[in-house]
Amino acid sequence: MTMRLGVSAALVDGAMLTGDIAVDPRTREICEVGLAGGGSGIAVPGLVDLQVNGFAGVQFRTCGPDGYAVAAQALAGRGVTALQPTFFSQSIEDYERGLRTLADVRATPPVGAEFLPAHLEGPFMSREWKGAHRAEYLLDPDLALADRLLDAGPVGFVTLAPELPGALELVRHLSRLGVVVSLGHTGATAEQTREAIDAGAQHLTHCWNAHRRLTSRDPGPAGVALSGSALVVGLIADLAHVSAEIVVLTMTCAPGRVAITTDALPFAGVNAGEWLEHGRRVSVVNGVAQLLDGTLAGGIAGLDDCLRNLVALGVDTAVAVDSCGGVQRRLLGLDEVLLRPGDRADIAVFDDGLRPLRTLVGGREVWAD
C-alpha cells in the first residue's frame, strides 16, 4: 500500500511542483507526484553531509552503537538522510576501533539518518595547516598504513595533503580502490593541487579553511578549485567558518559543485558552552566553537541551518537543496534522489521557513516533529 505524505508541494527534478507525493514502503521508492488534496509542508530530497564528527553529544570516534542511534535520530531531525561519520586525526589504533564500530553499526543500522562509510580526516595531513588537529597524530602518506585503515572498517572518503612525500601515489592507490580523495589541511600550491587532481583527487575539504591562502599570484587549492571544474568544493556554510560574502562568492564561482557541510562537533545540536576534546578545552564564543587560542575547532550548526543560510543569502531553493544533498550524492556515486517516480524515497519535509517536519529514509518515516 502506498503512503501519501500530505505535503502541499515538492521539489521534483529541481522544480517546485504543487501537490502531494506518495511513496511505496515496499519498494522504498516514490511512486506518484503532483497529487491533488495535499496538506502543508514542502518535500525535498533528503540532505547529505560529508563531514560529521559527531552530533547531539555523541562523538563518532569513540562511541558505541547506542551513540550512533542517538545521533541518527538527532540528525534525521535536521532533515539529514545520510552522512559520513568523520574520524579526525588520532592514533591508528583509535581509528581502527572507530572503524570496527562503524562496521557493526552499518550491519545493523539504527532508525534515523543512514551512516555511510567513514570520512577519515587524516592522518596524512600537513602539520603547518593542522588547524585544530593535534600535530602528533599527523603522518606522512604510507600505503601500507592506509590499507591497514581500510581493512579495519568501511572507509569511503579520505582528506589528505597532496604536497607530502608519497601523497600522489596514495591518491592514485585510494582512487583505484573507489575511495574519494579530498584535499585538505594542506599547503599545496596550485601546481601540486593540479597534480593531485590528475592522480584522482575529487574534492576540496572545507574550502577557505585550513589550507594555503589564495593570493593574486599564489592561488593554491581554492584558486584551482574555483577556477576549474575538476573538484567538488566543500564549504561550511554556518557563517562562522566563512563570511556571507564568501558563501555567495563560492556558490557563484562553482555552480553545481559546492557541497555544503557542517564539520559538526559532538556537541552540535545541544546547548553546551564548553567541553574537552583530546584533552583540550573547546568553548563556544558568540556561536563559534574554538580552542583557547581562538583556532576554529569545528561546527555547531546543523545542515538545515546551513540550508536556511543559503536561502537567506538569495540562493535559489532548488540550488540550495542540491548543494546540501545532490552534489554529495553525485560525488559519492549514490543513487540520485530528485523525487521523481522510481527514485529512492529519501525525503525531508520542511515548513515554509525550511524548518524540518518529517524525514523519510528509504520510504520509512524515521523522524517526525
Q: For 344-353, how does the pLDDT look when each residue is reduced to its tens digit (9 = 90+)?
A: 999 999 999 9
Burial class (CB in 10 A: 0-12, 13-18, 19+), 62: middle
Domain with CATH 3.20.20.140 in the chain: 47-335
**Whether 188 contacts 220, CB under 8 Å:** yes
User: How far is residue 72 from each of residues 28, 50, 102, 263, 307, measured CA to CA in Å?
Assistant: 19, 15, 13, 16, 19
Residues in the chain: 369
The pLDDT, as a whole number, for residue 274 is: 73
Query: In this predicted model, which residue has the larger pLDDT, 288 or 9?
Result: 9
Topology of domain 1-45+337-369, per CATH? Urease, subunit C; domain 1 (2.30.40)
pTM listed for this prediction: 0.97
Topology of domain 47-335, per CATH? TIM Barrel (3.20.20)
Each residue's pLDDT tens digit, 97-147: 999 999 999 999 999 999 999 999 999 999 999 988 999 999 999 999 999
Per-residue pLDDT band for 278 (boundaries 50, 70, 90) equals low
- Look at strands 9-12 and 15-18 and give their pairing: antiparallel
CA neighbours within 13 Å on the CB side: how many for 69? 8
Q: Of the given ranges (167-181, 219-233, 283-297, 305-319), which has the lowest mean pLDDT?
A: 283-297
Contacts of 151 (CB under 8 A, 6+ apart): none
276 pLDDT exceeds 80? no
Cell numbers given for 102: 562503524
**Catalytic choice (263, 304, 305, 346):** 263
**Whether 353 contacts 317, CB under 8 Å:** no
Domain with CATH 2.30.40.10 in the chain: 1-45+337-369
Q: Is 263 annotated in the active site? A: yes
CA neighbor of 17 nearest in space, from 39, 37, 40, 35: 35
The pLDDT, as a whole number, for residue 288 is: 81
Per-residue pLDDT band for 49 (boundaries 50, 70, 90) equals very high
- Mean pLDDT, the chain, integer: 96
DSSP state of 361: E
* Chain centroid to CA 140: 25
272 pLDDT exceeds 80? no
**Whether 161 contacts 129, CB under 8 Å:** yes
